[in-house]
Amino acid sequence: MSALTLPFRWLATLEWRRGFFEWVRTDGVTWVYIFKVLSAAFLTLWLAMRLELPQPRTAMITVFIVMQPQSGHVFAKSFYRLLGTLAGSSMMVALIALFPQNTELFLPSLAIWVGLCSAGAMRYRTFRAYGFVLAGYTAAMVGLPALQHPDGAFMAAVWRVLEISLGILVSTLVSAAILPQSASASMRNALYQRFGVFAGFVAEGLRGDSQRDRFESSNVRFIAEAVGLESLRSVTAFEDPHMRRRNGRLGRMNSEFMAITTRFNALHQLLERLRLRGPLQIVTAIEPGLTALAELLDGYAGRGLTEGDAARLAEQLAAYKEGLPERVRTLRAAYVESGPSDADLLDFHTAYELLYRFVDDMHSYAQTHASLTEHNHAREQWDEPYVAQTNWMASLAAGVRASFILLVLGSFWILTAWPSGAMMTLIAAATVGLSAATPNPKRMSFQMACGTLFGAFVGFFETFFVFPWIDGFPLLCLVLAPVFVFGAFLASRPAYAGYGLGLLIFFATGSVPDNLTIYNPYNFINDYIAMVIGMLVCAAAGAIILPPNSRWLWSRLEQDLRAQVLYAITGRLRGLGSSFESRTRDLLHQAYGLAVGQPRVQSKLLRWMFVVLEVGHAIIELRKEQAILPVHPCYAESQPWRQAIRVMGRALARLFMQPSASNHERALVAVDHAISRVQATDEPFARHFDTSALRRVQSYLHFIRTSLLDPQSPLAELAPAKGLPHAS
């Protein structure tokens, strides 16, 4: 009997272990984070009380704000919090010195400062934004209480810096010492897994098996990963010297990954257009080279790419790239025998030109990945940083919203002389700062108000019915722990982060006792009413004053997205490819996040991104080809084909800045004219010397034309439905 039940017991044990390790990777990480939050908060509170700091709760609030599941994020957030606190405290001291006991001048100046900081937080959406947030509301939180006693303003600023420094020190120590979760490990895992997913995506697309919805969702994922990895890369520099020595290569890898996704998107879009248009002979002629690459990538699909795998991939891609020209000549000779038209032959050349560029960029990516095994490498020299792009009107709107809230609430405080008016104003400054860089500040502010309201009821019960009956710090921790556990759990869930922050931060602000505890229910109730009103005003302002998740900002970001084509035409050529990639993807990432719940808007934005990347990349390649042309009369600046390309650039810029049927028609005519001019130049000289550069130019021009006529493109709405004509 025991022999029969043994396999079942073994299977049950194996299943239990799998379930346990799955829990450790998911919910277990959350509970470790909550334990670390409690440990750091209570240790900070104890130290602050033992050191007799004026406001121990400020040090503990710092813990709630800077604590993150990964230690690298804690280091980065702590660093920028300290900088923001120093900047805000310095500005507060300067304002108090300029306007002592002059509320009418102090409040407008403070409102302008907080508005500038909120605009900066919207402009820099990484942890740098947090420095701007702290610089804004630190000035308010120190300056408003000290306004009636300007002689103590400097010491108030000093004490706040010390309290925050204590919270930062304890948070970083606890995060690094207790079951540390490093950001560098997360980045390595993301880098290893990302290429495996991409390899499967490419192999599927080359065989023509990918669906449109899956193609779009995969691209959205790659965009989010590129933006997220750039943020993660900046965090790992604070944490891991091993990753810091490879910072240039990590930035280069992210740039090269964006480049290969764009290369493949362009190739995939061209193949899809050819498959939809027919005839199938052109697709049949191209497929042998695609199948060979798909089979090569099958060995890397769905698994992590280690440095050793990357070195092997680089060797395989180098061999494939070396044999590709001979393969193309063989396939072209076989295809020519079937009597294709000039347009079909141009499609053939364009497809293989895109394939060659894609393989070349992927080979470069594999070499960079393989170089991570070495501490020092030549590929570390990379001076093409990731360039974020934020609409200036979105930043201005955040600044105007913050200044307006402070002016309104500050004026209400002055006019009514409400004792808790200062609390209402400074809490509004903190709320508008914390919600400034979020996609939906109204939702964030409202969630924080709800969390604060819940904290008020719990805090009232504990302050007046529990605290008088306990004695000693351990019992205080026991009473506070359930509230902090619940708040930290909510804060760890993105959908409920606002409730968690409101509960943690503002329960601590109003209910955690100081060294000298004062039981005053009148002030307690008034202060919490002021907090909730300040947050609700922020929520209302976020819904009324230029809300960032409204149609006006979608349209502005769409315009900025289209304007990247103009940047590709006029930007400085050095580093243009990587900056064009990062700017375009950053804009799409912002717009896609702001349009959550609007699938039609998101789909349109994604389609604009595809056509912008296709046309913009082709333009950059045209500019690079023209920059390295050999000295010969047919390549001179005065040649008609080069003049035609300049005219085409102006027509494309006009089309993307002002999309219309007439501008679309002008752009098509300009592209056709440029193609015909290049063909007219190529034919007389082809007998005497190599004109491969002109043929590459012709391929990119042809690709731009097919992009403008893509039926999936938003530009297709500007033209009558005539199918996909061949090139002239």
Q: Do residues 690 and 675 touch, judged by C-beta distance below 8 A? A: no
Flag whether pLDDT at 689 surpasses 50: no
Same domain, yes or no: 440 and 583: no
133-147, 449-463, 474-488: range with lowest mean pLDDT: 133-147
Arithmetic mean of pLDDT, 382-397: 75
**pLDDT at position 726:** 43
Same domain, yes or no: 307 and 413: no
pLDDT band at 9 (very low <50, low <70, confident <90, very high): low
Residue 155 in domain: yes
d(CA 230, CA 252): 10
**pLDDT at position 5:** 55
Same domain, yes or no: 560 and 647: yes
Question: Concatenated DSSP letters for 463-520?
Answer: HHHTGGG--SHHHHHHHHHHHHHHHHHHHTSGGGHHHHHHHHHHHHHHHS--SS----
d(CA 349, CA 351): 6
* Domain count along the chain: 3
Residue 1 in domain: no
CATH number for 197? 1.20.58
Nearest to 603 by CA among 715, 714, 721: 714
Arithmetic mean of pLDDT, 298-322: 87
pLDDT one-digit tens code per residue, 557-569:
888 888 999 999 9
Residue 724 in domain: no
Q: Do residues 147 and 96 touch, judged by C-beta distance below 8 A? A: yes
Question: Concatenated DSSP letters for 62-115?
Answer: HHHHH--SSHHHHHHHHHHHHHHHHHHHHHHHHHHHHSTT-HHHHHHHHHHHHH
pLDDT band at 727 (very low <50, low <70, confident <90, very high): very low
Flag whether pLDDT at 69 surpasses 70: yes
Most confident of 64-78, 237-251, 276-290, 392-406: 392-406
pLDDT band at 1 (very low <50, low <70, confident <90, very high): very low
Q: How crowded is residue 339: how many other Cβ atoms within 10 Å of its Cβ?
A: 8
4 burial via Cβ count (<10 Å: 0-12, 13-18, 19+): exposed
Flag whether pLDDT at 688 surpasses 60: no
Residue 131 in domain: yes
Arithmetic mean of pLDDT, 669-688: 73
pLDDT one-digit tens code per residue, 36-59:
889 999 999 999 988 888 888 888
Same domain, yes or no: 537 and 566: no
pLDDT one-digit tens code per residue, 485-542:
999 898 888 888 889 888 988 898 888 887 777 788 888 899 899 999 999 998 888 8
As a whole-number percent, the residues of the chain with pLDDT over 90 amount to 8
Flag whether pLDDT at 342 surpasses 80: no
Residue 3 in domain: no
> How far, in Å, are 467, 574, 629 from residue 624 at the CA level?
72, 10, 9
Flag whether pLDDT at 632 surpasses 60: yes
Same domain, yes or no: 572 and 441: no
Residue 15 in domain: no
pLDDT band at 654 (very low <50, low <70, confident <90, very high): very high
Residue 591 in domain: yes
What domain range is 320 assigned to? 184-380
Residue after which a domain boundary falls, among 476, 510, 544: 544
Residue after which a domain boundary falls, among 493, 513, 544: 544
Does the predicted model carry a pTM greater than 0.85? no
- Which ranges of 278-341 would DSSP assign to H, the alpha helix? 280-298, 307-336
**pLDDT at position 728:** 38
**pLDDT at position 682:** 58
Same domain, yes or no: 412 and 303: no
Higher pLDDT, 388 or 508: 508
**pLDDT at position 243:** 74
Q: How crowded is residue 179: how many other Cβ atoms within 10 Å of its Cβ?
A: 12
Same domain, yes or no: 520 and 598: no
Same domain, yes or no: 137 and 236: no
pLDDT band at 414 (very low <50, low <70, confident <90, very high): confident
8-17, 177-186, 273-282, 534-543: range with lowest mean pLDDT: 8-17
Same domain, yes or no: 344 and 432: no
Residue after which a domain boundary falls, among 380, 411, 433: 380
d(CA 402, CA 400): 6
Flag whether pLDDT at 229 surpasses 80: no
pLDDT band at 555 (very low <50, low <70, confident <90, very high): confident
Q: Over the chain, what is the mean pLDDT?
A: 81
Same domain, yes or no: 177 and 194: no
Same domain, yes or no: 451 and 497: yes
**pLDDT at position 302:** 82
pLDDT one-digit tens code per residue, 125-165:
666 777 888 788 778 777 777 666 677 767 877 888 888 88
Strand, coil or helix: 657: helix
Higher pLDDT, 663 or 153: 663
As a whole-number percent, the residues of the chain with pLDDT over 70 amount to 89
Flag whether pLDDT at 722 surpasses 70: no
Arithmetic mean of pLDDT, 623-650: 78
For 304-319, give one letter per residue: b (16+ CB within 10 A) or e.
ebbeebbbbbbebbee
265-274, 397-406, 716-725: range with lowest mean pLDDT: 716-725
Residue 415 in domain: yes
Flag whether pLDDT at 696 surpasses 90: no
Q: Do residues 586 and 196 touch, judged by C-beta distance below 8 A? A: no
Nearest to 437 by CA among 532, 548, 555: 548
Nearest to 504 by CA among 528, 522, 480, 523: 480
Same domain, yes or no: 99 and 46: yes
pLDDT one-digit tens code per residue, 70-124:
776 777 777 787 888 888 888 888 888 887 767 778 888 888 888 888 888 887 7
